Homo-oligomer: A and B are copies of this chain.
């Protein structure tokens, strides 16, 4: 695609409203814009990253035997009253009436909604196990929206739900998801720590959080430097519930195995999985008939990933002073072609022919067709973080070379033009 068509409004100045590095870079690189506190527009570059991440998630969910659906964002409040979670979640839920006086809410999550769906469309153990997921927009009335996509009022989540006959079935699906989550984050180029966590208002007995280490992270994890054991820091829960950090009582923070003090690591929660058990199915009478014809409540698990938040977490872990360094699998484009002088016909011909060949090979190529100085183009290419640049100037054409530049270490190499497509295709695969 051509830079002039994509709409990539990069900024020279760092916007004042940006409170974190990832937030600054998302704005400066022209990936997102704030509509109001907590609500962001994904500009074309941001949307491309979002779609790459969603593609990875879909592959891994489908590989677990999960099937994708899409639940509404508008909910009848009465379903939330059945479990009492309208009260548990309190002001975090947007609530209002429609013109006919129906009490509605915007979905902050979907346990009640999917349990109701299954209850009304399900009968026999022969249809179990069943795993459903969606990638969908959630709404939460955050008291302090912060850090751009990290804590927003409107955000994109992947939520999956498993339905089983018994605890053994749940354990199996939970384990499948646990492993899928590890693969998803790793494929997104994200380092995560996994820790057992308090299920909180979600309910159930067991839950695990997937936490991405980052200085801006508001959730503190304890990590044993010796045995790599992790544990939630005991002050954390007080902070989360009251919405603002203050000094809580610190618990015993030594490693139960090695007896040494564990390190505090700031992290961003990117995934959370729960063994819900029968909390929702019992409250909402979502039953199945077992092999003997007896009615039993469905045994449920739920599995969330903060999809839009992932974008920020990835940037927090992958950047340098010049901008973002996208891991290849989630980069908005794999390659950017930089013709150094767009008024030079030979340069543009060479750049165009390479562009056509790379696109024909199925690669994601961005073509910087702007009439800008080379310095501006290099700076912008570094800022937006495309993994590979190809520089095309008069000299390289004469010498029948192209100059390849790797964003991560800024190394450059000359490649003979005739081998270029083969070389780049191999590099990016």
Taking Cβ atoms with an 8 Å cutoff, the residues of A that contact B are 1, 4-7, 9, 33, 35-36, 38-44, 46-47, 50, 65, 67-76, 91, 94-96, 98-100, 102, 106, 113, 116-117, 120-122, 126-127, 130, 132, 137, 139, 141, 143, 153-154, 371
Contacts and interface: CB of A to CB of B under 8 A. Distances in A.
Question: Copy number in this complex?
Answer: 2
B36 A102 contact: yes
A143 B153 CA distance: 27
Given A47-B69, A74-B139, A7 B94 contact: no
A35 B153 contact: no
A113 B35 contact: yes
Given A7-B132, A94-B96, A121 B69 contact: no
A148 to B, nearest CB: 13
A44 B73 contact: no
A156 to B, nearest CB: 9
Contact of A47 (B68, B76, B100, B122): B68
A74 B120 contact: no
A388 to B, nearest CB: 22
Given A72-B154, A98-B153, A99-B141, 18 more contacts: A1-B67, A5-B130, A7-B130, A33-B117, A33-B120, A35-B72, A35-B113, A35-B117, A36-B102, A41-B117, A42-B70, A46-B69, A47-B70, A73-B154, A98-B141, A106-B106, A126-B371, A137-B137
Q: Which of A33, A69, A371 has the most CB of B within 10 A?
A: A69
Contacts of A50: 70
Contact of A36 (B9, B76, B95, B371): B76
B69 A7 contact: yes
27 contacts: A1-B67, A7-B67, A7-B69, A7-B130, A7-B132, A33-B117, A33-B121, A35-B74, A35-B113, A35-B117, A36-B75, A39-B74, A39-B75, A40-B72, A41-B72, A42-B69, A43-B69, A44-B68, A46-B69, A46-B70, A47-B68, A47-B70, A74-B154, A94-B96, A94-B98, A98-B141, A98-B153
Nearest to A76: B36
B96 A70 contact: no
Contacts of A91: 99
B41 A70 contact: yes
Contacts of A36: 74-76, 102
A6 B69 CA distance: 9
Contacts of A100: 143
A71 B47 CA distance: 10
Given A72-B154, A127-B4, A139-B74, A67 B44 contact: yes
A5 B128 CA distance: 9
Contact of A67 (B5, B72, B74, B121): B5
A122 B11 CA distance: 11
A235 B39 CA distance: 41
A128 to B, nearest CB: 10
Contacts of A96: 94-96
Nearest to A136: B137
A122 to B, nearest CB: 7
Contacts of A70: 41-42, 46-47, 50
A276 to B, nearest CB: 19
Nearest to A156: B70
A95 B42 CA distance: 23
B73 A73 contact: yes
Contacts of A126: 371
Nearest to A163: B7
Nearest to A144: B100
A5 B40 contact: no
Contacts of A74: 35-36, 38-39, 139, 153-154
